[in-house]
Amino acid sequence: EDQVTQSPEALRLQEGESSSLNCSYTVSGLRGLFWYRQDPGKGPEFLFTLYSAGEEKEKERLKATLTKKESFLHITAPKPEDSATYLCAVQAGRGATNKLIFGTGTLLAVQP
């Protein structure tokens, strides 16, 4: 069964303290790995899509990388406004499915 596991569940950083979030996956035929940001009471906001091992994407202080078994979301010099839940999701299988399978997320708190 396709599965996505995120760690840690929660992370508290000081402003400017860089760190990484992990997303490990077990799927049959990865078609894409997605990172979303979710603020309280809001829907997930799309950040990145990664398709193949070795691929990297960057946006401001965020950088996403992908290997054959996991993805990392690196946060460089975070600011309090980066505080949110970060969700990882995969799209898998060679059939017609387009559903996303999500992990449970990492709750990031950045303190000033």
Residues lying near another protein in the complex (CB under 8 A) = 4, 34, 36, 41-46, 49, 87, 89, 96-105
**Are 51 and 37 in contact, with CB atoms under 8 Å apart?**
no
* Contact indicator for 74, 62 with CB cutoff of 8 Å: yes
DSSP SS3 for 62: strand
For another protein, give the closer residue by CB, 72 or 93: 93
The least distance separating another protein from the CB of residue 77, rounded to whole angstroms, comes to 26
Smallest gap from residue 87 Cβ to another protein (A) = 5
Closer by beta carbon to another protein, 79 or else 99: 99
CB of 15 to another protein, least distance (A): 26
Query: Whose Cβ is closer to another protein: residue 97's or residue 111's?
Result: 97
Between CA 76 and CA 17 the distance in angstroms is 7
- Our CB check for another protein shows the closer of 13 and 92 to be 92
Alpha-carbon dihedral 24, 49, 31, 89, rounded to 10 degrees: 40
Residue 7 and residue 22 in contact, taking contact as beta carbons nearer than 8 Å: yes
